[in-house]
Structure 1
Amino acid sequence: MKAYVFPGQGAQFSGMGLDLYEKYPQAQELFEEANDILGFAITDIMFEGTADQLKETKVTQPAIFLHSVILSRVLGDGFRPDMVAGHSLGEFSALVANGALKFEDGLTLVSKRAMAMQKACEKTPSTMAAVLGLEDEVVEKICASIEGVVVPANYNCPGQLVISGEISAVEKACEKLKEAGARRALVLPVGGAFHSPMMEPAREELAAAIESTSFAEPACPIYQNVTAAAVKKASEIQKNLIAQLTAPVRWTQSVKQMIADGASDFTEVGPGKVLQGLVKKIDPNAVASSAELPEG
């Protein structure tokens, strides 16, 4: 069975999507539609912008979403997923690709999500840290023992977990994690504590937008970050998407479940190769590659 996976924030690069725009009329149409929906020429920044311009909140998330979704469209008949999953932001790309969300609705939600997350970051200073070389259970236990808000945020692969929360609590957790034998416990240069209770204001704001958006029954199951289980029911997809902002990304668990349910081949759709690397760390026997553009 073929599984398609969609990357999240951090995968952006200057020039992303230009090859699609120049080669495929369908891609050009969708990019121009995106410029209209967003109210600014995101294509200029994607194709020619600097790394700093691409890191702007209003740009990063829509840019990655657009690259992934438009790539899935130009694959045409070559895109036949039996199941999909997306890492954090990538979940929105996956939902458009499998027909649960319309392109314009997905882009609008991603743009609103980016702005809501930015606002939540500005409200309370917060951060995230990467923890390498410890069992998930040890990280969970140490986070729970710290005063203040610090929680596991991204279960990326065995031995790689990202924690998230208040700056002082994350720093204290890093000290304790190193004492417990972590190979690294490093505070990340991010704007805030994504996938933690610190994102509650953003979750509330996004909830209203998601609830008023129409979701369809998808063409194939999506393995959502919150549950790490196959979901096909539109109402359940909406509920999990709302919970995603304050809940951890259970990527390790999602990939394991996809493999248990028959996934034998993983294709990453979008910029970068981060997810195929994680898939291979989760299961060294898994086949994982980047989506290849059709000829012509």
Structure 2
Amino acid sequence: MTSEPAPSLRIAYSPCPNDTFVFDALAHGRVPGAPALDVTFADIDVTNGMAERGESDVLKVSYAVLPYVLDAYVLLPCGGALGRGCGPLVLTREAGLDLTGRTVAVPGERSTAYLLFRLWAADVVPDGVGEIVVMPFHEIMPAVRDGKVDAGLVIHEARFTYRNYGLHKLADMGEHWEGTTGLPIPLGAIIARRSLGEGTLKRLADAIRASVRAAWDDPEASRPYVMEHAQEMDPAVADQHIGLYVNEFTAELGEMGYAAVRGLLTRAAAEGLLPPLGPEALDFP
């Protein structure tokens, strides 16, 4: 009598190069002893909503959504995106534009990018910006270029391509965050359902670490998966993207990573932008 194979874990992450790079070995069964994955690709605004509705076992989400989902999910200590020099940018057609009362496109109201933007705007635009318009992140730069909005908050590879749209960098949310806190920028988190149990959660975290190391050890092995989902991105841009967002914090949040996450969520709660977290909310089993 043979035992039934363990069911696959449903996981949702973005098609962006950092996520496909991190999860390539794990998604393709090249991490011995790891749980099998049933992968759904979705932009971060979609995965944030999936997490709030409890629609997957494992998800890549914005750190800004954690206070709304940590009753059902636990933050994994690896696999996410933190770093330095990798913050969201505010772009405009006109250099030096005053954003007071202006329309700004953002990639999601529960995104970490928008949270960092609100913390920045509280310091820099004291009279407040105007209407906030939520758009998929790949539509934001064309909307700014075409004058549909006055400014756009962009993430991911837009850091490397915005000049192609004739746009100007008005501000770097990461520079503001790092300059005021000295901490790395928390962007995307990996969360898993608490009901999976301590053993499965630890096994999953170990598997993600192993997948990250496998990608670092043999970057070419992940290239087909990365480019298949990179939305016609130039390979050099994909490499820049990976280099910026996959770093030591991806392999292990560590003391500095956890300090950055707590710092962001605590500061946002103090500003009334997020619900406060309990003292043990970020603890991993």
TM class, shorter-length:
under 0.3
TM normalised by structure 2 equals 0.26
Higher relative contact order (CA 8 A, sep 6+): 2
